């Protein structure tokens, strides 16, 4: 892990004559619209202030009549004029109806704005039907005693995800400002990610770029696919680290963040991840030792090794590394011993 000393905050996006105060209902505010913001949508402008609202949050608050324009209700798309007064209340965050759980967490770094963890394989990020507890969010609610309101609730801010059986480094926001700063970096591709993967097949080239849009599979709704009419741009850069005859060890740099992106792209190349139950293959492995290693690993051989981004409080570039886990180490050692 590499971290830095965090001292000087970034200047927030401010609007002239922006007055705020807290009361028991939440954050009251009043904003005077200036000439430079004339003609803009009210929801767009609110998403760029130090209220730390996303555009969808601003839209929701306007529709719920929490935010007024010149003391009148308004639509989210209303256009502003110089001298208009935007006022209202951002409701105080409410406790989330999730149970904090004392689960083991491998914390790589933590401060008042973010927590960086090494997620183990087998842990789901979010509670969902079938996984109501034992998730990363449940663990973070127990671990983080200093959470502030994020999107209207007292909860950790999940800004990106790893699949249940993918291990490795994740950053989580602890307050609303950090959440929106990190979301913006992911959206603008300012976050650098590095993964390690073991795939089936001998990759003939040493490196390459997969450029294939990804969307929902046309027939199997649990899967994503490059064979879709509504695919979104997806870019995956890869290079070979080691070859083991019918298997290859890769370093992967995803340039976009689509659901199952690495798994889908490698499978589409004819080199699915070792152990991937959804996009992989059922191969008859001759070596008993290797069969036992893969059985013990019991997941896709994919690990999020490194994450690099600008710290949301200081703007300083930081990097965090989650060491390759023991199950993938054992599988690599096994592959080396039989080739």
Q: Are 155 and 202 in the same domain?
A: no
Nearest to 142 by CA among 171, 104, 111: 104
Instruction: State the DSSP H helix or E strand holding residue 91, giving kind and residue range, or none if neither.
Output: strand 85-91
CATH number at residue 49: 3.10.290.10
Asked if 108 contacts 116 with a C-beta cutoff of 8 angstroms, the reply is: yes
Residue 163 catalytic?
yes
7 located within any domain = no
Q: Are 174 and 279 in the same domain?
A: no
> Of 5-14, 203-212, 296-305, 321-330, where does mean pLDDT reach its minimum?
5-14
Q: What are phi and psi of 239, to 5 degrees?
A: -150, 150
4 located within any domain = no
Asked if 251 contacts 194 with a C-beta cutoff of 8 angstroms, the reply is: yes
Q: Which of 32, 67, 91 lies at the terminal end of a domain, its last residue?
A: 91
Rg, the chain, Cα only: 23
32 vs 50: CA distance, rounded Å: 14
115 vs 99: CA distance, rounded Å: 19
250 vs 236: CA distance, rounded Å: 12
Considering its fold, how many domains does the chain have in total?
3
For residue 22, the model assigns a pLDDT of 47
38 located within any domain = yes
Q: Are 177 and 200 in the same domain?
A: no
85 located within any domain = yes
CB atoms under 10 Å from CB of 258, counted, come to: 19
The answer on pLDDT for 10 being more than 50 is no
Q: Is the dihedral of CA 129, 130, 136, 141 positive or negative?
A: positive
- The mean pLDDT value for 210-229 works out to 89
Q: Are 144 and 181 in the same domain?
A: yes
- The mean pLDDT value for 271-293 works out to 85
Confidence of residue 20 (pLDDT cuts 50, 70, 90): low
2 located within any domain = no
Nearest to 66 by CA among 95, 25, 18, 101: 25
Asked if 136 contacts 124 with a C-beta cutoff of 8 angstroms, the reply is: yes
| pTM of the shown model | 0.76
Residue span of the structural domain in which 49 resides? 18-91
8 located within any domain = no
* Tens-place pLDDT, residues 55-98: 888 898 999 899 999 999 999 999 999 999 999 988 877 666 67
For residue 96, the model assigns a pLDDT of 64
**What DSSP state is assigned to residue 36?**
G
For residue 281, the model assigns a pLDDT of 77
Asked if 231 contacts 215 with a C-beta cutoff of 8 angstroms, the reply is: yes
Instruction: Give residue for tokens 């051989």.
Output: 301
- The mean pLDDT value for 173-178 works out to 90
For residue 156, the model assigns a pLDDT of 85
Of the CA atoms within 13 Å of residue 21, those in its CB half-sphere come to 1
**DSSP per residue over 147-169, as a string?**
--EETTEES-EE-S---TT-EEE
3-state secondary structure of 94: strand
Q: Which of 120, 154, 187 lies at the terminal end of a domain, its last residue?
A: 187
User: For residues 225, 229, 230 and 234, what is the CA-based torsion angle, rounded to 10 degrees?
Assistant: 50
Q: Are 210 and 332 in the same domain?
A: yes
Question: Active site residue: 37, 163, 175, 327, which one?
Answer: 163
Q: Are 83 and 137 in the same domain?
A: no
The answer on pLDDT for 25 being more than 80 is no
Q: Are 148 and 210 in the same domain?
A: no
The answer on pLDDT for 24 being more than 90 is no
Question: What pairing do the DSSP bridges indicate for beta strands 302-310 and 192-200?
Answer: antiparallel
* Residues making up the chain, counted from first to last: 339
CATH number at residue 137: 3.30.2350.10
Q: Are 115 and 81 in the same domain?
A: no
- Residue 87 to residues 19, 150, 190, 203: CA-CA distances in angstroms? 9, 21, 33, 59
12 located within any domain = no
330 located within any domain = yes
Q: Are 222 and 238 in the same domain?
A: yes
* Tens-place pLDDT, residues 299-339: 999 999 999 999 999 999 999 999 999 999 999 999 999 87
Q: Which of 39, 70, 91 lies at the terminal end of a domain, its last residue?
A: 91
Q: Are 78 and 103 in the same domain?
A: no
Q: Are 60 and 117 in the same domain?
A: no
Q: Are 333 and 215 in the same domain?
A: yes
């Amino acid at each position: 892990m590499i971290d830095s000393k965090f001292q000087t905050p970034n200047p927030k996006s401010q609007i002239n004559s922006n007055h705020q105060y807290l009361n028991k209902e939440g954050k009251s505010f009043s904003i005077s619209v200036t000439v430079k913001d004339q003609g803009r949508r009210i929801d767009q402008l609110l998403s760029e202030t130090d209220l730390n609202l996303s555009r969808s949050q601003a839209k929701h608050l306007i529709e719920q009549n929490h935010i007024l324009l010149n003391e009148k209700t308004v639509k989210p798309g209303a256009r502003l004029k110089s001298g208009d007064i935007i006022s209202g209340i951002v409701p105080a965050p409410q406790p989330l109806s999730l149970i904090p759980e004392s689960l083991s967490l491998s914390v790589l770094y933590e401060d008042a704005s973010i927590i960086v963890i090494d997620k183990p394989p087998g842990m789901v990020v979010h509670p969902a039907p079938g996984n109501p507890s034992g998730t990363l969010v449940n663990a973070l609610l127990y671990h983080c005693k200093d959470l502030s309101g994020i999107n209207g609730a007292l909860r950790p801010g999940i800004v990106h995800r790893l699949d249940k059986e993918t291990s490795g480094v994740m950053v989580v926001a602890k307050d609303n400002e950090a959440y929106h700063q990190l979301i913006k970096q992911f959206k603008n591709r300012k976050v650098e990610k590095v993964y390690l993967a073991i795939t089936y097949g001998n990759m003939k080239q040493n490196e390459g770029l997969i450029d294939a849009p990804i969307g929902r599979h046309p027939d199997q709704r649990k899967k994503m696919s490059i064979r879709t009419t509504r695919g979104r741009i997806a870019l995956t850069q890869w290079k070979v680290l080691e070859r083991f005859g019918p298997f290859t060890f890769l370093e992967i740099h995803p340039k976009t963040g689509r659901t199952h992106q690495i798994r889908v792209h490698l499978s589409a190349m004819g080199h699915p991840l070792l152990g991937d139950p959804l996009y992989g293959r059922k191969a008859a492995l001759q070596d008993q030792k290797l069969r036992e290693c893969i059985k013990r690993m019991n997941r896709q051989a994919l690990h999020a090794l490194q994450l690099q981004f600008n710290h949301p409080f200081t703007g300083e570039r930081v990097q965090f590394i989650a060491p390759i886990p023991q199950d993938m180490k054992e599988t690599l050692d096994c592959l080396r011993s039989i080739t």
